[in-house]
Structures are given as C-alpha cells and as structure tokens.
C-alpha cells in the first residue's frame, strides 16, 4: 500500500461491540491501516451494529443513507460488522447496494483481509465464519475506548435462548476465554496504567472455560468466582463485571465480593419481569422467588452492594395485573438503576410466533409508570449518598462545566466534582453534597 488507508469505525450497542471495535482497530493498525475519528476523511467506513431491538437495527440503514449522502462526490468503502451483519448476511448487499463488506460477529480479526479483497477487485466480501483457534483477543492500549477503564471480554455468545432475544443467533454459542489469557491481559492492563477493568460478557457468571489452568490456587463454587478471586488477588485497583444471569448467580459471588475490596460493590442482574407466568413464557429459567433470594443474598452482604437491572414491558400477552407484579417487584428490590425496554419483536425468535398483543400505547403507559416508580426510588437511594465519602476514578472533564471532572464511584454511579486535569486517571475520595436523578455531585476530600 503506498498511502495509508484511513478507517473510521462507528460503534452501536453494548460493551461487547465496543470491545470488538477495539480488537478490530488493533488488527487493522497492525496491517498498516490508519484509524481515524473523522467519517468525512475516511477511505473506509465500518458500522459495528446492534440488533437487540428493531430500532437499533433500523439505525444502520439510516446511517448508510446519511454517509452516502454526505460523501456524494467521494464515496468511502462501506462495511457492516457486528450483529446486523451476522443476522442479515448477504441480504445487506440487496438492502443497501453501497455496502461492500459484511463482517460477522466472529470475523473481526479478518477485517483487514476482507478490505484487501475488495481493494483487489472483488465487488463484495462477506465473512460469517467462526473465530479461528489461533486468534487471541489482542487489544493495544491506544485503541481502548478509555485510558483508565478497560473492557475485558471473558465469555462471548449466549446459550440461554430467552424467547424474545436475538443474541444467541447473532453471537452464537457461549465460548469462554481461557483464564490464563484473561489474567495475562489484566496484568498487561495494570502495567499500561489502567485503573479499572470491566469483565464483559452476555452472561459473565456462566463462565465455563475448557481448562481452569491459571485458577489452581483459587477457591470458588464456580469457575467465575474462582476467576474473580484470581483477578482480585492481583491487586488490580478496581474490578467490575457485567452482565450477570440470575439463574447462575451463585451466592459464592457475593462471598468473593465481601472478601475483596477491589471487587467493586455493584451487580447488574436483569430480572426482565415480576410475573412468574411471563418469566416462564420468556424462558428465563427462574421464578420471582428465586430472583428475590439472589437479591436477599446481595442485600445481606457485609458491605452495601449497588444493584441494577433490566425490565421488558409489554411482552406478548402481558396483562395489566402481570405488569402490576413487575411494579411490586421493583418496589421490593429498590434498584440503584433500571433500564426499561418496550418489547420489540425480533424475527426468528420464539416470541415472534406469539401475537405482539400489547398495543404500543399500552407499552408506553407501562414504560412511563415503571419509570416514574423507579425515579422515586432512585431519588431516595441517591439522596442517601449525600454527606458520605465515595471512592471515584477520575475519567474525564465534565461535559457540563470545564471546571468539573467526572468519574464513576465503585458502585458505578456517575459523580462530578470540581478539580484540575492533574487528577485524571487518579482514584480520589469525594464527599457527596448533592444528589441528582442519575448522578451525584461532590467535593474532593483533602
């Protein structure tokens, strides 16, 4: 290549996609490509896509239209990677003829060679294949989304097949990374100056590697809690993990959190519904009482553990009284944060066979009622932090005010406070003096 080609990657969706983008960027750079933040000047534009709900999927085609419009005189090579690529495959070329590359969720490492194929004259290139055994998860520090927080995938894919969910189809079966590889990556991150790692996976606590070598000296009821103890014992400053699956949420995880201060006091445990009938129809594999038992274990921990969750409203045939059960569950759990979603039919999933019987207006009204309830609970929880000191990783300047810095507490709340640039990347103590709906405000402790 005489002149370096510039590649722009735009990422949609979850942390796994962010991690895939970082990995793809690392591979592209190694093959002599330049990565750019400017869509305008890029020779190659890659959209790393999400298909969790219909709207996320529609956004891709909208973005392709925009890019084509803006770059009328100087069309870039457009590629689609990620979940939409995996699910739609060839048909993307028909739906959006300007797309020349379709790169599935396990083909990230082969992106450079796919680009080359098109540059060498192929009209289109498509790869929906599996990851190769020889491909390790390599990400260089400069490609990470933050200088201070690193995402470390420990498990890819999902075997749960909840009836509404497209993920098992877009990301395939569960594959766990070997513990030794994860431990090496985390050791490298520490040497590179990262202060926090987020272990990421569709279901981190379903972690089940082929070999447990690397974990020999660590106790635990499951490979996941052994991994947590192994990582905690490296002394890495802050370790968080997401997402946890309720059925596999063993109480030994709570024990590990109690034992190690650097395993952060936050758990994301999506419940989806407060009705046993709906949970069964979703095929979640647990009842409300099982979920509440997990919550009790978390609430009974020696230090307070912040709990967040996801809920879907308007699942097919969800009745008003079943929705009321969800409201009661939310009252009982007192989540620190809640992501609420209106059910979105995903073609090919079992729930798509059920009539999408709850009207859009009803979904909206359930969404708003639940949001209002959650806000009243969240206000109380956030107000409870006023007057307390929290440990904060300083991640950047606040978007609101140049004088303020922003970061996250160990319990994963956003907090802003006045301070200078020299604190970036530091872990500091902050006294909370104001609570907002979704964030805290405080002052640096001296």
- Does residue 201 interact with ligand 5AD by CB under 6 A? no
DSSP, residue by residue, 15-64: HHHHHHHHHHHHHHHHTT-EE-S-TTT-SEEEEEE--SSHHHHHHHHHHH
**SS3 of 314, please?**
coil
User: Residue 160 binds what, of ligand 5AD, ligand SF4, none (CB under 5 to 8 Å, by partner type)?
Assistant: ligand SF4
Two structure tokens written together for 222: 């499951």
Tell me whether residue 356 or residue 397 sits nearer to ligand SF4 (CB atom): 356
The smaller minimum CB distance to ligand SF4, of residues 76 and 157, is found at 157
Residue 344 site contact among ligand SF4, ligand 5AD, none (CB < 5 to 8 Å, cut-off depends on kind):
ligand 5AD
- Residue 106 C-beta: closest distance to ligand SF4, Å: 16
Partner whose footprint covers residue 341, from ligand SF4, ligand 5AD, none (CB < 5 to 8 Å by kind) = ligand 5AD
CA distance 295 to 92: 43
Do the strands 404-409 and 439-444 form a parallel or antiparallel pair, or are they unpaired?
Answer: unpaired
Under 8 Å between Cβ of 437 and 375? yes
Place of tokens 């300083």: 394
Q: Judged by CB, which is closer to ligand SF4: 203, or 412?
A: 203
CB of 167 to ligand SF4, least distance (A): 4
Which DSSP state fits 301? Answer: S
Interface positions, 296-355, toward ligand 5AD (CB under 6 A)? 310, 312, 341, 343-344, 346
Nearest to 292 by CA among 318, 329, 243, 322: 329
**From the list 33, 164, 224, 382, which residue makes contact with ligand 5AD (rule: CB under 6 A)?**
164
Whether residue 424 contacts residue 404, with contact meaning beta carbons closer than 8 Å, is answered with no
> Is residue 281 a contact point for ligand 5AD (CB under 6 A)?
no
410, 264 contact by CB (below 8 A):
yes
Tell me the closest approach of the beta carbon of residue 312 to ligand 5AD, in angstroms.
5
Report what 161 binds from ligand SF4, ligand 5AD, none; CB cut-off 5-8 Å by kind.
ligand SF4
Indicate which single residue of 272, 378, 406, 416 sits in contact with ligand 5AD (rule: CB under 6 A): 272
Residue 374 token pair:
């959650």
Residue 236 interacts, among ligand 5AD, ligand SF4, none and using kind-specific CB cut-offs from 5 to 8 Å, with none
Query: For ligand 5AD, which is the closer residue by CB, 117 or 268?
Result: 268
3-state secondary structure of 114: helix
Of 100 and 268, the one with the shorter C-beta distance to ligand 5AD is 268
* Least separation in angstroms between CB 20 and ligand SF4: 15
CB-nearer residue toward ligand SF4: 78 or 167: 167
| Closest to 265 (Cα-Cα) out of 275, 254, 281 | 254
- Closest CB to ligand SF4 among 50 and 440? 50
Positions that interact with ligand SF4 (CB under 6 A): 158, 160-162, 165, 167-168, 202-203, 245
Nearest approach, Cβ of 135 to ligand SF4 (angstroms)?
23
Q: How far apart are CA 373 and CA 331, in angstroms?
A: 8
Answer with the entry of ligand 5AD, ligand SF4, none that 203 interacts with (C-beta below 5 to 8 A by kind).
ligand SF4
Binding mask 21-60 for ligand 5AD (x = CB under 6 A): -------------------------------xx-------
Give residue 48's Cα distance to chain centre.
14
Q: Are the C-beta atoms of 316 and 354 separated by less than 8 Å?
A: yes
Q: Which does 168 bind (CB under 5 to 8 A by kind): ligand SF4, ligand 5AD, none?
A: ligand SF4
Residue pair 108/9 in contact by the 8 Å Cβ criterion: no
Q: How many CB atoms lie within 10 A of CB 156?
A: 22
| Integer Cα distance of 85 and 91 in angstroms | 9
Residues in the chain: 446
Q: Which does 330 bind (CB under 5 to 8 A by kind): ligand 5AD, ligand SF4, none?
A: none
Confirm if 238 and 195 have CB atoms less than 8 A apart.
yes
Q: Is 273:311 a contact under the CB 8 Å cutoff? A: yes
**Nearest approach, Cβ of residue 243 and ligand SF4 (Å):** 7
Which DSSP state fits 425?
T
Residue 385's binding partner out of ligand 5AD, ligand SF4, none, with CB under 5 to 8 Å set by partner kind: none
Q: How far is the CB of 165 from ligand 5AD (least distance, A)?
A: 4
In 3-state terms, what secondary structure has residue 325? helix
Q: Nearest approach, Cβ of 349 to ligand 5AD (angstroms)? A: 7
Contact residues for ligand 5AD (CB under 6 A)?
52-53, 164-165, 270, 272, 310, 312, 341, 343-344, 346
């Amino acid at each position: 290549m005489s002149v370096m080609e510039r590649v722009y990657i735009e990422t949609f969706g979850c942390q796994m996609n962010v991690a895939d983008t970082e990995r793809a960027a690392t591979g592209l750079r190694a093959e002599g490509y330049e990565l750019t933040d400017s869509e305008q000047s890029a020779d190659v534009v890659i959209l790393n896509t999400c298909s969790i709900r219909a709207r996320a999927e529609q956004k891709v085609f909208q973005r392709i239209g925009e890019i084509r419009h803006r770059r009328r005189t100087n069309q870039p090579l457009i590629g689609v990677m990620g979940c939409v690529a995996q699910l739609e495959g060839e048909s993307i070329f028909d739906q959006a003829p300007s797309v020349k590359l379709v790169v599935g969720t396990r083909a990230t490492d082969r992106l450079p060679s796919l680009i080359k194929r098109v540059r060498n004259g192929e009209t289109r290139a498509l790869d929906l294949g599996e990851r190769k055994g020889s491909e390790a998860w390599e990400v260089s520090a400069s490609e990470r989304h933050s200088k201070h927080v690193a995402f470390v995938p420990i498990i890819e894919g999902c075997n749960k097949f909840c009836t509404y969910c497209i993920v098992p189809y877009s990301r395939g079966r569960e594959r766990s990374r070997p513990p030794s590889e994860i431990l090496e990556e985390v050791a490298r991150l520490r040497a590179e100056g990262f202060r926090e790692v987020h272990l990421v996976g569709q279901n981190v606590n379903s972690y089940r590697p082929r070999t447990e070598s690397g974990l020999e000296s660590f106790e635990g009821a499951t490979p996941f809690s052994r991994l947590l103890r192994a990582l905690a014992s490296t002394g890495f400053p802050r370790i968080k993990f997401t997402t946890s699956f309720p059925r596999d949420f063993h109480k030994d995880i709570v024990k590990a959190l109690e034992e190690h201060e650097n395993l952060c006091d936050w758990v994301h445990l999506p419940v989806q519904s407060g009705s046993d009938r709906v949970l069964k129809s979703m095929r979640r594999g647990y009842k409300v009482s099982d979920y509440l038992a997990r919550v009790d274990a978390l609430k009974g921990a020696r230090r307070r553990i912040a709990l967040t969750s996801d809920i879907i409203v308007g699942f097919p045939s969800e009745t008003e009284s079943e929705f009321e059960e969800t409201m009661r569950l939310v009252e009982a759990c007192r989540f620190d944060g809640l992501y609420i979603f209106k059910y979105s039919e995903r073609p090919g999933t079992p729930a798509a066979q059920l009539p999408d019987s709850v009207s859009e207006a009803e979904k909206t009204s359930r969404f708003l009622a639940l949001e209002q309830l959650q806000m009243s609970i969240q206000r109380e929880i956030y107000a409870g932090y006023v007057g307390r000191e929290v440990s904060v990783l300083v991640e950047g300047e606040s978007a609101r005010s140049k004088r303020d810095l922003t970061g996250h507490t160990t319990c994963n709340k956003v907090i802003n406070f006045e301070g200078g640039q020299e604190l970036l990347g530091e872990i500091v103590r902050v006294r909370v003096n104001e609570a907002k709906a979704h964030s805290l405000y405080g002052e640096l402790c001296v």
